[in-house]
Structure 1
Amino acid sequence: MSNDGVAAVEKALALLDCFTEDRHAFSLAALAKASGQPVTTTLRLLNSLERMNYVIRSEAGTYELGHRLLYLGKLFERSFRLEAVVVPVLKGLAKTTGASASYSIAEEASWRCLYRVEPAEGLRLSRASGPRDFDQTATSDVIRHWGSSEPVFEQPPRLPIFKSGSRDAHTAAFVTPVFSAGNKFAGALTLSGAASTLEAANVTGEFVEPQLAAAANLSRALGASHAFCQSIYTPR
């Protein structure tokens, strides 16, 4: 069965992705420009979205998000389980790469690994460890830079971030930031393992595509926009 999707649905959802906390309303022309779609196409899609209450048209002629989205958001909020979203991604990444895959989050002046999957132990899942002080590891760098707005990197770094020997001489890691609703930082996706193995992978680039794809899929599942994920996770 094909999983190519339906182009018209994706175009309609792309219109909804244009709305942000800072931009609640659009004219037809502005929304067409923001989405990169022709005005005629944008109007047809908006008419369908308006009929289904996903957008509303004000008396001034601008378009805003509709009440149906609030209802769906509340359903999602009640049913959402972070583990159910993150762990399958970690298992898939660990199986593909043969490295340990983990997901970590920022806490006040520290960070914590919430989930880790070990490929050498049959994709065994381990849950939250205690908080860790910020250190010189790539995971800490990513959380400090994107989660705490510290200027760890002078220029936008190429993803994933790679470091070897930062914790000890025998381990290395690839780390990529993960984002959520509003394109806000959510956590760090880490591949870690023996330094010799990961240093070789850093030379070949074999872990780049699977890790960026996993981070993009996880970010979209957590609510980041498709356009934002494309801009962040497209390999350079």
Structure 2
Amino acid sequence: MAEKAKRRPALEGVASADRALTLLSAFRKGDRSLSLAELAERTGLVKSTIMRLAISLEEYGYLARDEGGSYRLDAEVLRLGTIYTQSFRLEAHVMPVLEELVARTGETAAFYVRRGEQRLCLFRVDSPHLLRLHVRVGDALPLDSSGIAQVLRAFTPRPLPDYAAALDLPLITMGATDPHTGAMAAPVFGPGDALAGALALSAPVIRWTPEAVAAARPILTDAAAALTRRIGGERPEPTRAAAE
């Protein structure tokens, strides 16, 4: 009983941490500062609790209070964000997605990024089939008319509204780079709706039957959306003019 009593404050400490993290998570993209009333509405916490939490968060540099009494995120959040960015390994997120794509479709999966007027194969998992396109990690190919290149052009560095909205994603091309190879590609987005890269499936055209294409399209679409979420990205909304 005595041991359990000693542990109780630790449980209360975790609950306090939950409330503090809830308070920090209330800030959204575009917020410069939030009033006490806005924080209460977004978190469901009472104002007195918010004020107590804010004192500790201010002391450690996570929150700052302006002259009008509103709260804004402070420098410690930026410091941690910078550390996260520097330690962030895209490979750790991309490779499991590629492996799952190969397992589900039986075709080669790859992740490409744009480097000037070239597309660079950054990550790749080969198909188990002996007949496949032999592109290696690190190979740079031209931004040709392939689906991969079109996706990279349409969304780099930011979406070209009219062009991007007109694309039927994932984009499928047959024989664009090699007459015997076809590919389909979908964009993956990072923070701030910037393009992170193109997720692609490639195979010999003889294996891209209408049935194989129809089966692979939703798999690739879902994989690109899942990878976007994993790396903290958000798919940009098309402009009104482009959507119309």
**TM-score normalised to structure 2 length:** 0.67
CA distance in 1, matches of 2:207, 2:156: 29
Name the counterpart of 1:134: 143
Instruction: Tell me what 1:60 maps to.
Output: 68
Q: List per-residue Cα deviations over 1:57-115 (Å, max 9, x = no partner).
A: 53334443344432432332342222222212211111111111101111112221111
Q: What residue number does 1:83 align with?
A: 91
**Residue in 2 aligned with 1:72?**
80
Aligned residues: 208
Q: Computing the radius of gyration over CA atoms, which structure comes out larger, 1 or 2?
A: 2
* Larger strand proportion of the pair: 1
- Aligned counterpart in structure 2 of residue 171 of structure 1, from 181, 191, 195: 181
Aligned mates of 1:167, 1:216 — CA distance in 2: 26
1:100 partner letter: T
Residue identity matched to 2:186: T
**Pairwise CA RMSD of aligned residues?**
3.8
Compared CA separation, residues 115 and 74, structure 1 to 2 (3 A): same
Quote the Cα distance in structure 1 between the aligned partners of 2:70 and 2:153.
Answer: 39
| Preserved CA contact (<8 Å) 1:173 1:191 | yes
2:226 counterpart residue number: 217
Whether 1:153 aligns to 2:160 is no
Tell me whether 23-32 or 156-165 shows the greater mean CA deviation. 23-32
- SS of the residue corresponding to residue 67 of structure 2 reads coil
Secondary structure, aligned partner of 2:168? coil
TM-score when normalising by structure 1: 0.69
1:25 maps to which residue?
32
Distance 1:13 1:114 in 2: 35
Q: Does 2:41 align with 1:40?
A: yes
* C-alpha distance in structure 2 between counterparts of 1:118 and 1:79, whole Å: 27
Aligned position for 2:6: none
Greater mean alpha carbon deviation, residues 143-152 or residues 74-83: 143-152
- 1:4 corresponds in structure 2 to none
Q: Secondary structure at the match of 1:127?
A: coil
Query: Structure 1 residue 106 and structure 2 residue 114: aligned?
Result: yes
Aligned to 2:3: none
AA in 2 matched with 1:75: I
Residue from 190, 194, 217 that aligns with 2:204: 194
- 1-side partners of 2:161 and 2:112: how far apart? 19
Unaligned segments of structure 1, at least 5 residues:
1-7, 33-38
Instruction: Identify the residue that residue 127 of structure 2 maps to in structure 1.
Output: 119
Q: 5+ residue gaps in structure 2?
A: 1-18, 239-244
Deviation track 1:142-177 (CA, whole Å, cap 9, x = no partner) reads 111111566782734232111222223332211011
